[in-house]
Amino acid sequence: MDAIANTAEVVGGSGSATRFTREFLDIRCCDCMELLEEYPDKHFDLAIVDPPYGIGAERGKNETDKAKFRDKPKGWDAKPPTAEYFIQLFRVSKNQIIWGANHFIENIPQPNSKHWIIWDKKNPGRDCSEGEMAWGSQMDSVRIYNQTRVMELNRADGGKIHPTQKPVGLYRWLLEKYASPGDSILDTHLGSGSIAIACHYAQLHLTSCELDPDYFAAACSRIKSATAQETFGFYARDRTANDNSNPIQTNDLWTSIPA
């Protein structure tokens, strides 16, 4: 991890040789199984992953997205990851937040636990999903992220470049709540690069990969322009110091459902 800190960005090569690095970020264009095999047991402090759910979402889930992405069907959301993916994921990471875990519950070690995050998209009655669920190994109860309407979040992020793009603010919230300073973060399915922008702001090391070369190139370009701006002064909270203050300045609203 230290080897990539403070290095200049590199985007080059093709296929699995294509790599983008800059301070805090190491992102490759490759299959996640290839990436996972490289790392020893419990190498990463926290894996925040958003794999295919197996629901065909790559074509867009609402009418606006369908118009934008339907001509570029890529087929990556036909099936969820294999059982072997989850074995490798739990092997290389100490803690996990797994989006879409309700779609592959058989691979979650404690399916009956209360360890869930709900992202309320504030899209009531629309044709797309009204929310998404993530299983998290560290949660003490159900947590809900409901900052603002997803369409407004996407606009604030400069628009959508990926059909299942999650807002940067959602990842910033996750890092603030579940990461500690100095943590190494893993994301095996980068997509639009929202998590990379959040890790840059949080000054947390991210290792990530994206299989699709078009998404990889678009994400690198988005990360470059987003990180060219001043950071927002956001740092992961030091949970060891029992600091319960919330350093996020974006009027985040979250509620906790008692266990």
Ligand X SMILES: C[S@@+](CC[C@H](N)C(=O)[O-])C[C@H]1O[C@@H](n2cnc3c(N)ncnc32)[C@H](O)[C@@H]1O
Minimum CB distance to ligand X, residue 238 (Å): 26
Report which secondary-structure segment, H or E, holds 119: strand 116-120
Q: Residue 31 interacts with ligand X (CB under 6 A)? A: yes
C-alpha 99/C-alpha 253 separation (Å) is 20
Q: Residue 220 interacts with ligand X (CB under 6 A)? A: no
Q: Residue 135 interacts with ligand X (CB under 6 A)? A: no
Minimum CB distance to ligand X, residue 68 (Å): 14
Q: Residue 223 interacts with ligand X (CB under 6 A)? A: no
Q: Residue 192 interacts with ligand X (CB under 6 A)? A: yes
Instruction: Select from 212, 247, 250, 252 the one that contacts ligand X (CB under 6 A).
Output: 212
Minimum CB distance to ligand X, residue 220 (Å): 13
Instruction: Select from 80, 207, 210, 237 the one that contacts ligand X (CB under 6 A).
Output: 210
Measured from the Cβ of residue 4, the count of other Cβ atoms closer than 10 Å reads: 16
* Options 133-141, 187-195, 228-236, 241-249: segment touching ligand X (CB under 6 A): 187-195
Q: What is the largest CA-CA distance in the chain?
A: 50
Site residues for ligand X, 50-69, by CB under 6 A, read 50, 52
State the first-to-last Cα distance of the chain, in angstroms, to the nearest integer. 37
Minimum CB distance to ligand X, residue 245 (Å): 27
Amino acid at 16: S
Of residues 23 and 212, the one with the C-beta less far from ligand X? 212
The DSSP bridge pattern shows strands 116-120 and 131-136 to be antiparallel
The pair of structure tokens assigned to 177 is 């709540």
Q: Which residues pair with 21 in a beta bridge?
A: 26
Within 8 A by CB and 6+ apart from 185, the residues are 44, 45, 46, 47, 48, 175, 179, 195, 199, 204, 205, 206, 207
The pair of structure tokens assigned to 142 is 């159900």
Site residues for ligand X, 156-175, by CB under 6 A, read 162, 164-166
Rule CB under 6 A: which residues touch ligand X?
31-32, 50, 52, 76, 162, 164-166, 189, 191-192, 194, 209-212, 215
